């Protein structure tokens, strides 16, 4: 035990010979009262001196005792680094309970903070409507960022339509647990976790109510062992319901949201709501992506604005948020999604995939 930086109590057990019992108890009493730094410098000679010397063949017991104390100190330092209570970040909101916060909620919040502290950037991908290509953007953005030598994670909390497992050909994946933590799946360098991995059947979540959804999102943020990441891309369900709200509240230091839309008026009306939502929950808008922005016929080269065009850019200007770019309709996406392949780095010549790569690059450059 350590109290106020000093070692308060040391217990040392051994099933070894009398000289190891002697060395162990001498090392333990030497360490008690020392600062953590002092204890990490305990040497074989210190223990030998404390026991009044040992025969040549028993001197290793003193070395073992000193090294055991050092190992315990190293463990303590790791635990301290991972514990909010001892963290030196002055601006951290995870140190003290909020007014009226229950002990359980405080512990949950600290648990989430501990995980997220190790992730430098968190980017939330939102859309006003389903089917506009939000998951396509999230998956390809995560893949493109991981190709820039960044450590990247992709978290899919789209409870009602988790497409990430399908898009990454991970439908049969089973969650792996290690003690209380959930291990993210690895796809090359990309770490992936999807609510879809929890659902045996795609329809399982249909009956989930708000508190259940919030509970599972909380658990994902608290228990998934991402380790140290440069970027976590979070694919949220469409709209402004419980899930995006939970994400915004549980990740108060998120870098911001990328809002995906298609260009026609019907989709734009909903995307305005998404931007409004971001403002209300203090989530910065990193920018708007206009997806399915026209189609160029590969045979005759004619450009057809199937869902109209440029609406996303106009709306972004009106609402005073950045416009990140437009992605044309590209059958390569449909093929890649259905086959569970991320095509972003392989599909030179595919206009949609090239446009998405450029947007991902711009986002990567904007990250400090
Ligand atoms: P959301 O997450 O908004 O519901 P998805 O990313 O799942 O949407 O995309 C829905 C479907 O549209 C998928 O089949 C996907 O392959 C396809 N899609 C997305 N963007 C494009 C695009 N630019 N061109 C062609 N198909 C696209």
Cβ(134) – ligand 1 distance below 6 Å: yes
Q: How far is the CA of 210 from the centre of ligand 1 (A)?
A: 26
The residue with greater pLDDT, 174 or 277, is 277
Q: How far is the CA of 57 from the centre of ligand 1 (A)?
A: 72
pTM (predicted TM-score): 0.76
Ligand 1 atom nearest the C-alpha of 328 is 23
Q: What is the pLDDT of residue 240?
A: 83
Lowest mean pLDDT of 185-189, 279-283, 330-334, 340-344, name the range: 340-344
Nearest CA to ligand 1 atom 16: 334
Each residue's pLDDT tens digit, 257-277: 999 998 876 667 788 899 999
Q: What is the pLDDT of residue 204?
A: 64
* Percent of the chain's residues with pLDDT above 90: 33
Local confidence band at 169 (pLDDT 50, 70, 90 cut-offs): confident
Residue 6 has φ and ψ, to the nearest 5°, of: -115, 150
For 14-33, what is the mean pLDDT? 90
The token pair that represents 105 in the structure block: 């909620």
Write down the residue that tokens 């595919």 correspond to.
350
For 128-149, what is the mean pLDDT? 89
Each residue's pLDDT tens digit, 206-243: 567 777 788 888 888 999 999 889 999 999 988 888 88
Ligand 1 atom nearest the C-alpha of 336 is 16
Show Cβ contacts of residue 210 under 8 Å, excluding neighbours closer than 6 positions. Answer: 242
Q: How far is the CA of 163 from the centre of ligand 1 (A)?
A: 10
Local confidence band at 31 (pLDDT 50, 70, 90 cut-offs): very high
Local confidence band at 16 (pLDDT 50, 70, 90 cut-offs): confident
- Tell me: pLDDT of 308 over 80: no
Residue 120 has φ and ψ, to the nearest 5°, of: -70, -45
Nearest CA to ligand 1 atom 4: 131
How many Cβ atoms from other residues are within 10 Å of residue 334's Cβ?
A: 12
- Mutation test residue for ligand 1: of 136, 235, 330, 341, the one with most atoms within 8 Å of CB: 136
Which of 332, 345, 320, 295 has its CA nearest to residue 188?
Answer: 345
């Amino acid at each position: 035990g350590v109290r106020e930086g000093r070692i308060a109590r040391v217990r040392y057990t051994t099933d070894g010979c009398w000289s190891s019992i002697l060395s162990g108890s001498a090392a333990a009493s030497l360490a008690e009262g020392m600062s953590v730094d002092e204890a990490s410098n305990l040497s074989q000679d210190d223990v030998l001196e404390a026991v009044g010397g040992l025969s040549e063949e028993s001197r290793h017991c003193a070395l073992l005792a000193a090294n055991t104390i050092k190992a315990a100190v190293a463990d303590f330092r790791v635990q301290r680094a991972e514990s909010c209570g001892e963290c030196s970040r002055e601006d951290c909101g995870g140190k003290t309970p909020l007014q009226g916060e229950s002990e359980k909620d405080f512990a949950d919040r600290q648990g989430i903070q501990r995980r997220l502290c190790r992730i430098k950037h968190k980017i939330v991908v939102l859309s006003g409507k389903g089917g506009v290509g939000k998951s396509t953007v999230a998956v390809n953005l995560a893949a493109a960022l991981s190709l820039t030598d960044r450590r990247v994670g992709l978290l899919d909390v789209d409870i009602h339509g988790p497409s990430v497992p399908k898009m990454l050909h991970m439908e049969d994946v089973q969650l792996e647990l290690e003690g209380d933590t959930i291990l993210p799946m690895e796809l090359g360098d990309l770490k992936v976790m999807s609510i879809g991995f929890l659902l045996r059947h795609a329809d399982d979540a249909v009956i989930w109510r708000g508190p259940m959804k919030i509970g599972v999102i909380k658990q994902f943020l608290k228990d998934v062992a991402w380790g140290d990441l440069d970027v976590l891309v979070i694919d949220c369900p469409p709209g402004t319901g419980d899930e995006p709200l939970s994400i915004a509240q549980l990740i108060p230091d998120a870098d911001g949201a990328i809002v995906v839309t298609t260009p026609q008026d019907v989709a734009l009306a909903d995307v305005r709501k998404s931007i409004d939502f971001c403002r209300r929950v203090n989530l910065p808008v990193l920018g708007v992506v206009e997806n399915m922005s026209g189609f160029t016929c590969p045979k005759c080269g004619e450009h057809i604005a199937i869902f109209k065009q440029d609406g996303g850019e106009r709306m972004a200007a009106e609402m005073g948020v950045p416009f990140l770019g437009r992605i044309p309709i590209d059958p390569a996406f449909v093929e890649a999604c259905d086959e569970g392949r991320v095509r972003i780095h392989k599909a030179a010549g595919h206009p949609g995939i090239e446009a998405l790569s450029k947007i991902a690059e711009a986002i990567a450059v904007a990250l400090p």
